[in-house]
Chain A
Amino acid sequence: MKVFAAVATALCAVSWAGWSPAVAQNQPQNQAKLCDKPRQMEGFKTCANVEKAEAEGAFTLYSTDPEQGQVKLLAAFNKMFPKIKTSYVRLQAGALYAKILSERQAKSFLVDVVQISDMGMILDFQRKGGFRQYVSPEMEFFPKEAKSKPEGFWTWGSVIMAGIAYNPNNVSAADAPKKWEDLLDPKWKDAINVKVSNSGLQHGVWYMLLPILGGEYFKKFGDQKPRAFDSYVQQYGRLVDGQDKIIMGAQYSGYIEFKAKGAPLAFVFPDTGVPAVPETYGIVDQAPHPNAAELFMDWFLSPIGQKALAEALLLHSPRPDVPPPGGSDTVPLSKMKLLSPADWEAFEKDRPAFAKEWNRIVGTGR
Chain B
Amino acid sequence: MADASTGVLRPRINWQSLTTLAVLGIVGFLVLLPMVFLVEESLNVGDPMAFPPVEFGIANFVSILEEDLKTVVNTLVIAVMATVMAILIGFTLAWILTRTNVPGRDKLERLMELPYYMTPLVGALAWAVIAGPKSGFINQIWKAVGGTGDIADIYTHFGIAWVMALFEGTVAFVMISASMKSMDPALEESARVMGASKLRTTLTVTLPLVMPGVLGATLFVFAEMLGSFAAALVLGIPGRIYVITTAIWDSTLAYPPDYGRASAMGLSLFVVMFGMLTFYRRVIARGSFTTISGKAFRPRPMDMGRLAWVLFSICALYVALAVVFPIAALLMTSLQRFATVILGQAQWTLANYQVALSLGPVRTALLNSIMLGLGVATVGVVIMALLVWIIYRSQMRGRGAIEYLVMFPQAVPRLVFGLALLWAWLNMPVGLYGTLWLLALAYFTVMLPLGVRTLAGVVLQIDKSLEECARVCGASWGYQMRTVTLPLLKPGILAAWLLIFMACVRELGVSAFLMGPNAKVIAPSIVNAFATSGTELTAAMALIQTFTVIVALIILFRVARGMTKELQ
Chain A residues with CB under 8 Å of chain B are 60, 62, 65-68, 71, 87-95, 97-99, 101-103, 105-106, 108, 110-111, 118, 120-121, 169, 196-198, 227-231, 233-234, 237-238, 240-243, 258, 261-264, 355, 363-364, 366
For B240, the closest partner residue in chain A by CB is A363
Residue B469 lies at the interface, judged by CB distance under 8 Å to chain A: no
Interface SS majority for chain A: mixed
Is B252 within 8 A of A228, CB to CB?
no
Write out the residue numbers on chain A whose beta carbons fall within 8 Å of the beta carbon of B71: 366
Can you pick out 26 interface pairs between chain A and chain B where the beta carbons lie within 8 Å of each other?
Answer: A66-B533, A67-B532, A71-B361, A88-B361, A89-B515, A89-B516, A90-B528, A95-B253, A98-B49, A98-B252, A106-B433, A110-B516, A110-B517, A169-B345, A198-B254, A198-B255, A227-B238, A229-B238, A237-B338, A240-B338, A240-B340, A241-B340, A242-B134, A262-B337, A366-B68, A366-B71
Rounded to whole angstroms, the CA-CA distance of A240 and B516 in the bound complex is: 35
Residue B525 lies at the interface, judged by CB distance under 8 Å to chain A: yes
Residue B427 lies at the interface, judged by CB distance under 8 Å to chain A: yes
Residue B3 lies at the interface, judged by CB distance under 8 Å to chain A: no
Write out the residue numbers on chain B whose beta carbons fall within 8 Å of the beta carbon of A258: 338
Q: Shortest CB–CB separation between residue A77 and chain B, in angstroms?
A: 14
For A112, the closest partner residue in chain B by CB is B517
For B433, the closest partner residue in chain A by CB is A108
Out of B255, B337, B433, name the residue touching A118 (CB < 8 Å): B255
Is B517 within 8 A of A89, CB to CB?
yes
Is B345 within 8 A of A264, CB to CB?
yes
For A231, the closest partner residue in chain B by CB is B531
Q: Shortest CB–CB separation between residue A294 and chain B, in angstroms?
A: 18
Write out the residue numbers on chain B whose beta carbons fall within 8 Å of the beta carbon of A94: 252-257
Residue B54 lies at the interface, judged by CB distance under 8 Å to chain A: no
Residue B554 lies at the interface, judged by CB distance under 8 Å to chain A: no
Is A102 within 8 A of B422, CB to CB?
yes
Is B68 within 8 A of A68, CB to CB?
no
Out of B247, B257, B359, B360, name the residue touching A98 (CB < 8 Å): B257
Interface residues of B in 317-352 (CB under 8 A from A): 337-342, 345, 347
Residue B120 lies at the interface, judged by CB distance under 8 Å to chain A: no
Write out the residue numbers on chain A whose beta carbons fall within 8 Å of the beta carbon of B341: 241
Given contacts A110-B516, A366-B67, contact A228 B237 (CB under 8 A): yes
Is B517 within 8 A of A67, CB to CB?
no
Residue B535 lies at the interface, judged by CB distance under 8 Å to chain A: yes
For B344, the closest partner residue in chain A by CB is A169
Chain B residues with CB under 8 Å of chain A are 49, 51, 63, 67-68, 71, 132-135, 237-238, 240, 242, 247, 250, 252-257, 337-342, 345, 347, 355, 359-362, 422-423, 426-427, 433-434, 512-513, 515-518, 525, 528-535, 537
Out of B254, B342, B423, B529, name the residue touching A355 (CB < 8 Å): B254
- Report which residue of A65, A92, A229, A264 has the largest number of chain B beta carbons within 10 angstroms of its beta carbon: A92
For B252, the closest partner residue in chain A by CB is A95
For A68, the closest partner residue in chain B by CB is B533
Is B360 within 8 A of A105, CB to CB?
no
Rounded to whole angstroms, the CA-CA distance of A71 and B135 in the bound complex is: 33
Is B347 within 8 A of A261, CB to CB?
yes
Write out the residue numbers on chain A whose beta carbons fall within 8 Å of the beta carbon of B240: 227, 363-364
Is A87 within 8 A of B361, CB to CB?
yes
Write out the residue numbers on chain A whose beta carbons fall within 8 Å of the beta carbon of B340: 237, 240-241, 263
Write out the residue numbers on chain B whose beta carbons fall within 8 Å of the beta carbon of A366: 63, 67-68, 71, 247
Write out the residue numbers on chain B whose beta carbons fall within 8 Å of the beta carbon of A101: 49
Is A198 within 8 A of B528, CB to CB?
no
Given contacts A102-B422, A242-B342, A243-B133, contact A87 B250 (CB under 8 A): no
Write out the residue numbers on chain B whose beta carbons fall within 8 Å of the beta carbon of A242: 134-135, 342
Is A198 within 8 A of B518, CB to CB?
no
Is B253 within 8 A of A92, CB to CB?
yes
Is B51 within 8 A of A261, CB to CB?
no
- Report which residue of A105, A111, A366 has the largest number of chain B beta carbons within 10 angstroms of its beta carbon: A366
Is B238 within 8 A of A68, CB to CB?
no
Rounded to whole angstroms, the CA-CA distance of A90 and B513 in the bound complex is: 11
Rounded to whole angstroms, the CA-CA distance of A355 and B256 in the bound complex is: 11
Q: Shortest CB–CB separation between residue B109 and chain A, in angstroms?
A: 36
Out of B51, B250, B255, B426, name the residue touching A364 (CB < 8 Å): B250
Is A241 within 8 A of B516, CB to CB?
no
Q: Shortest CB–CB separation between residue A215 and chain B, in angstroms?
A: 22
Q: Shortest CB–CB separation between residue A264 and chain B, in angstroms?
A: 6
Is B535 within 8 A of A237, CB to CB?
yes
Is A67 within 8 A of B529, CB to CB?
yes
Given contacts A105-B51, A261-B338, A261-B347, contact A198 B250 (CB under 8 A): yes
Rounded to whole angstroms, the CA-CA distance of A197 and B254 in the bound complex is: 8
Is B517 within 8 A of A198, CB to CB?
no
Is B255 within 8 A of A120, CB to CB?
yes
Q: Shortest CB–CB separation between residue B404 and chain A, in angstroms?
A: 29
Q: Shortest CB–CB separation between residue B251 and chain A, in angstroms?
A: 9
Rounded to whole angstroms, the CA-CA distance of A62 and B518 in the bound complex is: 12
Given contacts A227-B238, A262-B337, A366-B63, contact A71 B360 (CB under 8 A): yes
For A121, the closest partner residue in chain B by CB is B255
Is B347 within 8 A of A262, CB to CB?
yes
For B355, the closest partner residue in chain A by CB is A68
Q: Shortest CB–CB separation between residue B368 and chain A, in angstroms?
A: 13
Rounded to whole angstroms, the CA-CA distance of A258 and B537 in the bound complex is: 13
Write out the residue numbers on chain B whose beta carbons fall within 8 Å of the beta carbon of A98: 49, 252, 255-257
Which 9 A-B residue pairings sit nearest by Cβ, starting from the closest? A66-B532, A94-B255, A366-B67, A87-B517, A261-B337, A261-B338, A106-B426, A60-B517, A263-B338
Given contacts A94-B257, A364-B250, contact A237 B342 (CB under 8 A): no
Rounded to whole angstroms, the CA-CA distance of A177 and B434 in the bound complex is: 48
Is B342 within 8 A of A241, CB to CB?
yes
Write out the residue numbers on chain B whose beta carbons fall within 8 Å of the beta carbon of A92: 253, 531
For B242, the closest partner residue in chain A by CB is A364
Rounded to whole angstroms, the CA-CA distance of A91 and B511 in the bound complex is: 12
Rounded to whole angstroms, the CA-CA distance of A97 and B533 in the bound complex is: 21
Write out the residue numbers on chain B whose beta carbons fall within 8 Å of the beta carbon of A118: 255
Is A237 within 8 A of B255, CB to CB?
no
Write out the residue numbers on chain A whose beta carbons fall within 8 Å of the beta carbon of B237: 227-230
Rounded to whole angstroms, the CA-CA distance of A364 and B239 in the bound complex is: 11
For B427, the closest partner residue in chain A by CB is A106
Is B533 within 8 A of A67, CB to CB?
yes
Q: Shortest CB–CB separation between residue A55 and chain B, in angstroms?
A: 18
For B132, the closest partner residue in chain A by CB is A243
Q: Shortest CB–CB separation between residue A97 and chain B, in angstroms?
A: 5
Write out the residue numbers on chain B whose beta carbons fall within 8 Å of the beta carbon of A234: 531
Out of B422, B423, B512, B533, name the residue touching A233 (CB < 8 Å): B533
For B63, the closest partner residue in chain A by CB is A366
Write out the residue numbers on chain A whose beta carbons fall within 8 Å of the beta carbon of B360: 71
For B239, the closest partner residue in chain A by CB is A227
* New contact pairs (19) apart from A66-B528, A106-B426, A233-B534, CB-CB < 8 Å: A68-B359, A68-B532, A71-B361, A87-B517, A88-B361, A95-B252, A101-B49, A102-B51, A105-B49, A121-B255, A198-B250, A227-B240, A231-B531, A238-B238, A241-B132, A241-B341, A243-B135, A243-B238, A364-B242
Is B434 within 8 A of A110, CB to CB?
yes
Rounded to whole angstroms, the CA-CA distance of A334 and B109 in the bound complex is: 62
Given contacts A242-B134, A242-B135, contact A68 B515 (CB under 8 A): no
- Report which residue of A118, A169, A237 has the largest number of chain B beta carbons within 10 angstroms of its beta carbon: A237
Rounded to whole angstroms, the CA-CA distance of A94 and B251 in the bound complex is: 9
For A263, the closest partner residue in chain B by CB is B338
Write out the residue numbers on chain B whose beta carbons fall within 8 Å of the beta carbon of A67: 359, 361-362, 525, 528-529, 532-533
Is B255 within 8 A of A93, CB to CB?
yes
Rounded to whole angstroms, the CA-CA distance of A198 and B380 in the bound complex is: 38
Rounded to whole angstroms, the CA-CA distance of A355 and B251 in the bound complex is: 11
